[in-house]
A and B are shown apart, each in its own frame.
Chain A
Amino acid sequence: MIRLQRNIPFKLPRLGSDTFSKLMRAKLKYDKKNSTFEITDDTEITSIISILSNVLNKEVVLELECIICSKSTNCAECEYADVCDRSKVSSYCICRECIDNGDAYENYKKSIFKRLKLNDIEG
């Protein structure tokens, strides 16, 4: 299984020019310098998953990242896996460990506050 995450660069083996142009048409970002690909807001995620699973002959899944611990949220085991369309939801979620670990909402707020860097605008 290949796990992909939004906005996190990943490498692919050489897939040939046809597949490469298909991936580019589906708006997968390519960084020529580092030879990495990245799923961005414009990427047609469903197309990318279908192209890659066909070419690589492996299951390709989009995983969300835990906003608190930055690990993968292991979406396959989530109780909402059947109703959560990962190509339509925002890229961060929360993993089971972080939910069970103390006040998850407070931890979530702290984590997002750090990322937002709002300290400097408030007195």
Chain B
Amino acid sequence: MWSSRYRPTRVEEMVGNEDARIEVVKWLKRWKIGMKPLLLIGPPGVGKTTLVKALAIQFNLDLIELNASDTRSKERLEGIIIPLLSNKGIMDRRVILFLDEVDGIYSNSDRGGLSSLLTFAKEPSIPIIMAANRENNALKELIKVCKIVKFYEIPPRLTLLYLEYVLRKENVTISRGEEINIVRKSGGDMRNLLNTVNSIIALGSSGNEHKSKVPLQEAINNFFNTLDKYSALDSLSNAEGFYYDPRFNRDYEVDKLDVLFSSVINSTNDINKLATILNILSEVDIIIARMNSSKEWRMLRYIDTILAYSLFNYTRGFNYNQYNIPYTLANKIFKDGRAINKLLTELATLLHASKRRIAVMLPYIMLILKDKSELLDKIDKSILESMNGVYND
């Protein structure tokens, strides 16, 4: 992935957060025993981890890194940190300890981790750098014993500068409009930017060939109607859409699993077949959730294959559908919705109140009218017809 391939290995190769980088470099140059550890706070994808890794290379330090996927309980931290206190790394080199995502150190598996971290942070005999995405209450104690360096989103023009450098290196060109679009959507998150451009430029046979995504509806219909599993997999993997991944803001795309669900429930009435397919979808949903919770995002690449091969035999002849409720239910909701809307409009005029307020009161009005049949004579007939429509259904 480009986000790993083009992760800068030198501090000056990074873009954005210049003040923060200067501050961290100064701190490391002047570091001596007892100096406060650093706590880097800033949104994801702005270079906190990259900076520490680059510093380790340039300052010739052994980097000991513990991130959120490692258990950071008291025992584990002490097991790692106490041997490091002699300040000797491999081959007698100096070491630097980096604890990434410390704002997530409070889970059950990390029990006691914070208190032991606080002890080490008060009198460190090795340089310790920690990183967090945001300040929160749980970090209060840690903030007191650390020097805080804030990181910010990267300005769009600087992200464009790096994007152009990466595209030059890859010998790939994309239109100016596409470049601007990618930069605008990145939200100052360099990892997001590189992953987006990487997925846009799905390399074909030549380095400059674009393999563009197929619109979702067309791709899903192809998936349901191809005659072999390989073509089905090809259709699914080329579909515009994604599988849930919390690292990216994908408001503008659709979750492929959602679309498969809505298409399936509207394509068959065979309960047994439907049960089998929904079981497959729910199992894949659980797999995706586990990949995300364990931060094994690279595994997401296998989801298309799992789905294509397991759904193939059950879904031939199905059709794309975007509505995630079956037609029979959708019809009833549509019909009721129309009747309720008519009723709300008329009651709102009659009672001089907003439709929203009437909607809140409607169940109570219906209940009152149910037992007060004498009131019914006083009410406009058209309203009663609307009410009966809703009430009887």
Expressed in whole angstroms, the minimum distance between the Cβ of B378 and any Cβ of chain A is 55
Q: Is the CB of A99 within 8 A of B161?
A: yes
Main secondary structure of the interface of B (DSSP, over half): helix
Of A19-27, A52-60, A79-87, the one with at least 4 CB within 8 A of chain B = A79-87
Interface string of B167-211 (1 = CB under 8 A from A): 000000000000010011001100000000000000000000000
Chain B residues whose CB sits within 8 angstroms of the CB of A90 once the complex forms: 16-20, 46, 151-155
CB–CB A108/B161 < 8 A: yes
Tell me which of B7-15, B74-82, B311-319 binds A.
B7-15
Is A118 a contact partner of B25 (Cβ separation < 8 A)? yes
Q: Does B338 contact A (CB under 8 A)?
A: no
Q: Are A99 and B17 in contact (CB under 8 A)?
A: no
A33 interface residue (CB < 8 Å to B): no
CB < 8 Å: which of A6, A84, A85, A121 contacts B29? A121
B299 partner residues in chain A, CB cutoff 8 A: none
Q: Is the CB of A116 within 8 A of B11?
A: yes
Across-interface contacts of A69 in B (CB, < 8 A) = none
Q: CB distance A113 to B164 under 8 Å?
A: no
Q: Which residues of A contact B188 (CB under 8 A)?
A: 88-89
Task: Compute the total of residue contacts between A and B using a CB distance below 8 Å.
Answer: 90
B59 within 8 A of A: yes
CB distance from B49 to the nearest CB of A (A): 16
A64 within 8 A of B: yes
| Interface residue from A78, A88, A99, A113 paired with B153 (Cβ < 8 Å) | A88
Q: Does B282 contact A (CB under 8 A)?
A: no
Task: Find the residue from A83, A113, A116, A120 having the highest chain B CB count within 10 A.
Answer: A116
Query: Is B58 in contact with A121, judged by CB distance below 8 angstroms?
Result: yes
Q: Which residue from A80, A108, A115, A118 sits with its C-beta under 8 Å from B156?
A: A80
Nearest CB in chain B: distance from A79 CB, A: 7
B158 in contact (CB, < 8 A): yes
Main secondary structure of the interface of A (DSSP, over half): loop
In the bound complex, residues from chain A placing their C-beta under 8 Å from that of B161 are: 94, 99, 104-105, 108
Tell whether A67 is near chain B: CB-to-CB under 8 Å.
yes
Q: Which residues of A contact B22 (CB under 8 A)?
A: 115-116
**Residue B165 is within 8 A (CB to CB) of chain A in the complex:** yes
Q: How far is the CA of A42 from the CA of B145 in the complex (A)?
A: 17
A91 at the interface (CB under 8 A from B): yes
B256 at the interface (CB under 8 A from A): no
Q: Which of these, A85, A94, A115, A116, contacts B157 with CB under 8 Å?
A: A94
A115 to B23, CA, bound (A): 11
Interface pair B152/A105, CB less than 8 Å apart: no
Residue in A83, A89, A94, A112 whose CB lies within 8 Å of B152: A89
Contact A91 B19 (CB under 8 A): yes
Q: Is B243 an interface residue (CB 8 A)?
A: no
- Confirm or deny: A41 has a beta carbon within 8 angstroms of a beta carbon on chain B: yes
Min CB distance, B70 to chain A, in Å? 29
Q: Which residues of A sit under 8 angstroms from B183, Cβ to Cβ?
A: 80
Q: Is the CB of A122 within 8 A of B18?
A: no
Q: Is the Cβ of A121 less than 8 Å from the Cβ of B19?
A: no
Shortest Cβ distance from A116 into B: residue = B25
- Shortest Cβ gap from B37 to chain A (Å): 18
- 10 pairs from A and B in contact (CB 8 Å cutoff): A64-B155, A80-B155, A80-B157, A90-B46, A92-B18, A92-B19, A94-B157, A112-B12, A116-B11, A118-B12
Interface, chain A (partner B; CB < 8 A): 6-7, 41, 64, 67, 73, 78-80, 83-85, 88-94, 99, 104-105, 108-109, 112-113, 115-118, 120-122
Beyond A93-B158, A105-B164, A116-B25, list 18 extra A-B contacts (CB 8 Å). A41-B150, A84-B155, A85-B153, A89-B152, A89-B153, A90-B20, A90-B151, A90-B154, A90-B155, A92-B18, A92-B155, A93-B155, A104-B161, A105-B161, A108-B158, A113-B12, A115-B22, A118-B58
